[in-house]
Structure 1
């Protein structure tokens, strides 16, 4: 299952019953992720955390 936090392009298909076929095999963790990735507070916090972490990841590791 792809773990994407990109804007939900698939939300436009919410009325299409076939759009939910992938949910049949979701585990508990899969369901948690589906709800979490749509949570606007989580998305905001994730963007803030990534903005803070990315400069650190670009620095060379000291040996």
Structure 2
């Protein structure tokens, strides 16, 4: 289940990779793809409409 806290996005990514360098790479790829966006330093959130609901349904 996805929590409303936007920082959970990076936590999910960090659980799937083994190092902080890999986490940063995947975070950057998600930002570049427009799936997540930086709201302020250290905070990201979903950018795609209804993407959170889709993930909650699929997970």
TM-score by shorter chain over 0.5: no
TM-score (norm 1): 0.30
- Structure with the greater alpha carbon radius of gyration: 1
Structure with more of its chain in helix, by fraction: 1
Structure with more of its chain in strand, by fraction: 2
